[in-house]
Each structure stands twice: as C-alpha cells, then as structure tokens.
Structure 1
Amino acid sequence: MKKLMCLALALIVFVGFSFGITITMMTPLTGADGAYMDEIVAKFNATHPGIEVVHVVVESSLDMKNKLSMGIASKTAPEIMFIRKFDMPLYLQHFKGFTPEEWLNNYGIDVNDIFPGVLEGLVIDGKVVGIPLDIWIFYMAYNKANFAKVGLDPENPPKTRDEFIAAMEALIPITPAGLTPYYENPAWTWIWFHLLWQHGGDLLTDDFKKPAFAKAGIEACKLMLMMQEKGILPMQVADPGVSFQSGDSSVLITGIWTIQPWMQQLGKDFGYAVVPQLGTTKAVFGGSHVLAMPKVMVEDPKVLQAATTFIKYLWDNAIDWYAAGQTPARISIAESQELKEKLPHIYVVSQESEYVKQFQMFPLISEIEAEIAVYLDEILVLHSISPEEGMKEAEFAVQEILDDYWSRVK
C-alpha cells in the first residue's frame, strides 16, 4: 500500500512537472500557415516538458478582438496573442511591456534587431508591448514563360514605373480577350494603400486628427485608371487567382503568403521579385504578426516565465515560421546567409523590408479603410466619379469618423 501511494505521488509530481503550466496562444492562422505553427508548437512541447502550449485559431479579426476584449475583462484571455498588428491599437495599454534592456537582459530578445518601421507604434511609455515575428509584404509574382514569349527577360523583371508599363503593354498581345496582363482586382483596397504610400502619402496625420490621403490618393487612382485605359489592369472586379495559375495573365502584385502555393503550382514558370516602384517614393505595403501578452494573464511570475520562454523559442526558431511564407521582422535574419540558402524566395523579397509601410496604429483604421473603399469602388469599378471628387468625399467621411472618435475619448 505504501509503495502504491509512493508511486501515485511520483506520478502526480511527474505529470505536474511535465505539464506544470499550460499556455494558450490565439492566432488567426488557418490552412498551411496554421499547420506550420502547429508543427512549431509540437516541437516546443516535446522539448519543454514543464510547459504545454495550446494553439487556438480565430481567423476573423472581429472575432479575435471580441474574444480578447471579453477575455481581458474576465481574466480568461489567452496568455499569448499572435495578433495582426493593425488589430492591436485598442489593446496597447492592456499588453505586458518591457524596456528594450529588459527584453534583452531578462528574455534574450533584442528589439533593436527588428526593422524600425515594423516596431513603430508598439512602444508605450518606453516599453515594448509586442514583438513582431514576421512581415507579410507585397511582392511581384510573374510568369516567366509569358515574359520570354514577348521578348522580355524573365530574369530581369521591371523595377520602375516606365519599365512596368512597357512590360505590361508588351504582354497584351498574348493575353486572352477579357483579361489583362496585370490581372488584379481593382476593388482590393490594399493595392490602393500600397500605391498611396508609393506616392508619398499616408492615411492620417501623425496626431490622427485629420485625413492625409487626398493628394497621394488621387495620384494612386490616376495611375490605376491609366492602367485600366491601356488594358493593363481590369476595369471591373476580378478574381485573379485562376487566370494567373493557368498562365492566361502574367503578373500579380500581392502578398508574400501566396508565394509557396504559386511556386508549387507554376514550377519553373513562376517568377518572384520585389515590387516595382510605381510612384515617387520607395515604399511597399506590409503588415506583421505580433506576439503580445495580456497583462491580466501573466501576473503570476511562473506563467510569465512560461509565456516568455515560448516567445523566445519562436524568436530563436523564426526561420521555421518564415518557411510558411512570411519575411523576417528581424534584420539579422533578413540579411543572413542561412535565409538565402534555406529560403531563397523569401530572402529575395525580404530585401525590401526596410521600406515596408504599415497601417497607422489608430483604433478605427478598419472602419476608415471600409469607408474609403466605398469611394474607391465608385472611382475604379463603377467609374462614376473622378479621383478628385472621390477623394474629397472620402476625406469628408473620414473626418466625421475622426471627429466622432475624439469627441468620445476626451
């Protein structure tokens, strides 16, 4: 009997040690991305018997924010959020922060190794409240075979506006009727944001009190309309995936998350490159997944230690995550020979990371984007108003959103 009690006690101690602390991490990762993260979590759990990480997926930004809000209020939130950066502004004061020195000395994470533009907005009162792990950046996907057919060098894709327009015009003769060589959805607002930044603009003023997009936004719209008139870009809503995969269309300016599927589907015909500079400013659309810890969930030092242990593991093994189709937030990895050898496609695209522009950290960015989208639709799809008229009306609508917001937070 005594031996049985000793064995039972030993088993309890062993189980308690094996999974002494359970950490939940909520992410928006589905499909292949989620599978990559599941593998990383499994490796961590296998090598850290005192900690168990549970991966919970909530794809929708709205659902994630609702769950996070309720979780913070009831102290039932995940210990770690792997959250899209533009979903964070409402919660910045609720995340655990450390000074750069504390991150380095206590947890082995050098925030100075993160691209400054990616870290921007995550420093509150001198404390870094989130660690960006990656950058989802725009790149140019193109069909090498189609380039070769019209005499374009498949290994030297266009880099400037003039080169891009000339290349697209050269591709028109081999593009089936009803399609365009750059077959992208003109209603996809992220393309307009990318071009807005490439024309030197931004969405709001630095104090978030006024819209700041009209001048550059007009230029971005004019460029897109010019490409529509030349038969380079569709006039109406388009679904580009099927046409690009079949080889009927030739170019996409799209997110890095598509690079792995296209490589597999197009094989040797698939080309990838940094985005061409179509405006006056060196800029490229991007975003980040950020690791952050709700304060109320890491008050216990043991839980905090477990959570930061996993964050450090992701930091140290980030190249495993980039294989899913993300570029590094860390400068040292973006410039490394290891990345160049293991993931050459990610290495090529990551050379533009220092020029990444991201959404400003204003709580109502999603609402503002949705409002602007209404007028972009009228300009670029319905063709019912001019860029000047559309941007003027969009400015007025966004100012109303801003005025209402500031009247409530004072």
Structure 2
Amino acid sequence: MKKILPITVILVTLLLLLSTASSQAKIQITFMTPLSGADGAYMDQIIQNFNKENPDVNVVHMVVGSSVEYKQKLSTGLATKSAPQVLLIRKFDLPMYLNQMKGFTAGDFAKYGINIRDVYPNLLEGLVEDNKYYGIPLDVWIFYMAYNKANFKKAGLDPERPPKTRDEFIKALEALKKVTPKGLTPYYENPTWAWIFVHFLWQFGGDLLTPDFKKPAFKDAAIQTLKFLMDLQERGLFPKAAVDPGPPFQSGQTSVLITGIWTINPWLQALGNNFGYAPCPQVGTKKAVFGGSHIIALPEVMVSDPKVYNAAMKWVKYLWDHALDWYAAGQTPSRRSIATSNELKTKLPHIYAVAQQLPYVKTFQFFPYISEVLDEIAVYLEDVLITRKLTPEQAMERAEKSVQRILDDYWSTVR
C-alpha cells in the first residue's frame, strides 16, 4: 500500500525547492568603492534598496579607501580573474586599467536607458577611445568657497554677495582680517596642500603636463600661483605655516576656505545659518575649478558571462536612476539634466549652487602617473611658501626637472 504524504509536507518540500532554485538563480555582484568616509553610508543605503527591489541580484559593497590599496587589489583581481564585477574608482586611478575595462558605444548604453551624452563633456576626457566609453562619471567632487556669514556681517560685507573676482576676494579678506583673532588668517588653509595649488594653477592657465604627456607644462603658471599665495601671506590673509584649517573654520574664528564639496554637509550641520557656500572666485586669468569624479567601470574579464553582465548593468542603471540619492552625500552631479534641474535646486540647494561651476570644472590629466607627478611638485611647495628657502622660479625649475625624469622613465617602458 502506497503511503500518502500529508499536504503540509508536500507544501514545505515545494517551498524549499523553490527557495533553493531562487537562491541558485540569484547573481552576486561585488561593487568595489573607495567610500571609507561618511558618504559610504549613503551608498550602503542605495545598495540595500537595490537588493530589496531586485531579488535576482545581490550587490555586495567592498570598501577600499586607500588609492594604493585599491589599485593593488584591482591589479591582483584582474590578473587572477577574481576582480569585482563593478567598480567605483577615482578617475585619476583609472588610466593604467582603461584597456582592461569593458567599452560601450553610446548605443550600448542607450539599450539600458543610459544617455551618456547627458554627462558634461569635460568629465569624459580620457574615458573615450574610438567612440567607445570605458567608464561613466557618476559625480563630481568639486571645489567651492565655504565662508562664515556671521563674520562677513561683522566685517561690513554682504553675506549674500560672496566675492567672485580676484580683487573682490582680496578686498573681502582685508575686511575679514579685522575680525580675525591674532595668530590666524581670514583665509586659513594649509599652504602646501597640493590640490589647492593645482586649482590655482589651472586658474592661471597652466596644466601639469603637455597634452601628449611628454613634457612638464606647469612652470610659468605655477610661478604665478606661488607669487599670488605669497602676496596673500605677506598681507596677513593666508598662513605661512602648515595648519589644520577645519577646527578654526568650524569654530567661527576663520572665515573663508576654498575646499572640496565633501565638507559641505558637515559644515551645514555645524554652522547652520552662518554657513555660506558659493562658486570659487576666479583669481587667475582662466575660469577653472578643481574637480574629480568617481567613475563606474566594469572589468571586462569579470562580465564575460551574459547573465553576470546583465546583472551588473542592472546595478549600474539603478545607480544612474538614483543619482540624486547619492548627491545627498555631498557630491555634485555629472549630468547636465540633473545639475540644472529644479528638483536638485529644491531638494539640495547647496549642491545646486556649487554645481553651477560644472561647465568649467577641470580634472587631472588622464596620465597613469599623474599622482606621482603632483607629489614631485608638492615637495617644493614648502620651500617656497613656508621656509622661503627657494624663490618660486628656483623651486619650479627643480620641480620641472624632477617631473621630466618621471616622464622619461615612463615613456622608456612604453612601446
């Protein structure tokens, strides 16, 4: 006589089989990012929402904050075919890996509902070869001018009209000097911060390298930049020593910083109505502002399986569609349609104000050793701006020779 199983046993068995089949069908995507700061929590929330809404894909967030460690992990992963399927990588870390990333035509992106032509063209420089795009700029971490509105009022300045030109900037600093405690300066920043040096270098019309990456191109503009900063120092408007600018600005003792968008949320919370934010003043001859991007890229070796590729692109499209959630972390849009939108202006007015600089944002040249080039120049900043051991001319002549050696070494290894 056949034994009949109870209906509950049959139902449980069916549910287990369905659950097993579902878990086997789920594709895991590893998403490696450098988001080791507070912005990582925003990305974690976006990932959590995606995983809830897409039961067939599971995105795992791998955070590697250090550029050096990030590149080591990526290099090893590519060599062993164990790299993440999707990357969020700083643009200046990407050049040496570009030929290992999957290329897309504008039509390929369009199939997934991504309009790559909505991205500001200046952000795509270096990412396009033979009409193929090897990455998508998700955002721009741009410089802006942070200022203390209460101090502007004390100094007799209109806090709703921050300086826009070199003359206005210097006049504002002269007025703010009168309300700045002794031992501090109204514009209080570390003089040897390499990124602020590059920001001003670009405004004085220079660049680190020639377009073909064969020779240094910074000397003349760098000398102008250093002389500008030295003039601010002699006027008592800018420090002559290495400093930590954050605490004095947050306490209201100092008044102005030209710094990165990643600071905007903390200072909004700390300073409230006294916190002002505006585009950077133009102190040189060229309208330019320092910026960088996090790039979405897919290692080609990791998405050769069509199922994995489609799962990875589903996640990429989700990031594209939920970019505004990411910009709330303190990033500016990479896309014109968002940067100029009323939605951004309404939801994130501070980001909208800073985003108006995006048409003239400039990023590091797409050269594999651009960080090493900048590090070599930065060695000489202290000799000019702190110790005064060298004149700007002497320092940049020496920096030029050091950078040329880096370039010669690189090109000697390239066929």
- TM-score, normalised on structure 1? 0.98
Among 55, 58, 63, which residue is 2:64 paired with?
A: 58
Measure the CA separation in 1 of the matches of 2:29 and 2:193: 37
**Deviation per CA, 1:285-323, whole angstroms, max 9, x where unpaired?**
000000000011000011010111111111011000000
Task: State whether structure 2 residue 16 is matched by structure 1 residue 8.
Answer: yes
Spell out the pairing of 1:9-408 with structure 2 (5 A cutoff): 9-17=17-25, 20-104=26-110, 106-408=111-413
- Match of 2:280, SS state, is coil
380-389 or 2-11, which moves further after superposition? 2-11
Measure the CA separation in 2 of the matches of 1:213 and 1:153: 36
Measure the CA separation in 2 of the matches of 1:8 and 1:24: 27
Contact between 2:22 and 2:56, CA under 8 Å: does it hold in 1? no
**Deviation per CA, 1:84-124, whole angstroms, max 9, x where unpaired?**
000001000000011112111x2211111000111111012
Measure the CA separation in 2 of the matches of 1:103 and 1:67: 27
Taking only the aligned residue pairs, the percentage that are identical comes to: 61
Tell me how far 1:5 sits from its aligned partner: 4.7
- Match of 1:287, SS state, is coil
Moved over 6 A (4+): none
Matched to 1:408, the amino acid is: T
Measure the CA separation in 2 of the matches of 1:129 and 1:375: 35
- Match of 1:393, SS state, is helix
Measure the CA separation in 2 of the matches of 1:97 and 1:284: 29
Measure the CA separation in 2 of the matches of 1:322 and 1:63: 25
Unpaired segments ≥5 residues, structure 2: none
Measure the CA separation in 2 of the matches of 1:148 and 1:59: 40
Tell me how far 1:8 sits from its aligned partner: 3.1
Measure the CA separation in 2 of the matches of 1:114 and 1:69: 28
- Match of 2:31, SS state, is strand
Unpaired segments ≥5 residues, structure 1: none
Measure the CA separation in 2 of the matches of 1:320 and 1:394: 42
Measure the CA separation in 1 of the matches of 2:258 and 2:16: 61
Measure the CA separation in 2 of the matches of 1:21 and 1:350: 36
Measure the CA separation in 1 of the matches of 2:249 and 2:122: 31
CA RMSD of aligned residues (A): 1.0
Tell me how far 1:9 sits from its aligned partner: 1.9
**Deviation per CA, 1:247-295, whole angstroms, max 9, x where unpaired?**
0000000000100000000011100000000100000000000000001
Tell me how far 1:364 sits from its aligned partner: 0.5
- TM-score, normalised on structure 2? 0.97
Measure the CA separation in 1 of the matches of 2:223 and 2:382: 14
Measure the CA separation in 1 of the matches of 2:18 and 2:286: 65
Contact between 2:86 and 2:312, CA under 8 Å: does it hold in 1? yes
Measure the CA separation in 2 of the matches of 1:15 and 1:408: 48
**Deviation per CA, 1:364-391, whole angstroms, max 9, x where unpaired?**
1111111001011211122110111111
Measure the CA separation in 1 of the matches of 2:190 and 2:16: 63
Measure the CA separation in 2 of the matches of 1:117 and 1:230: 36
Contact between 2:162 and 2:278, CA under 8 Å: does it hold in 1? yes
Measure the CA separation in 1 of the matches of 2:79 and 2:368: 18
Measure the CA separation in 1 of the matches of 2:156 and 2:67: 44
- How many pairs are equivalent? 407
Matched to 2:383, the amino acid is: E
Measure the CA separation in 2 of the matches of 1:296 and 1:269: 51
Measure the CA separation in 2 of the matches of 1:126 and 1:255: 32
Matched to 1:123, the amino acid is: V
Measure the CA separation in 2 of the matches of 1:5 and 1:39: 34
**Deviation per CA, 1:228-258, whole angstroms, max 9, x where unpaired?**
1101110010100000011000000000010
Tell me how far 1:125 sits from its aligned partner: 2.5
**Deviation per CA, 1:130-170, whole angstroms, max 9, x where unpaired?**
00000000000000000000100000000000000000011
Matched to 1:31, the amino acid is: G
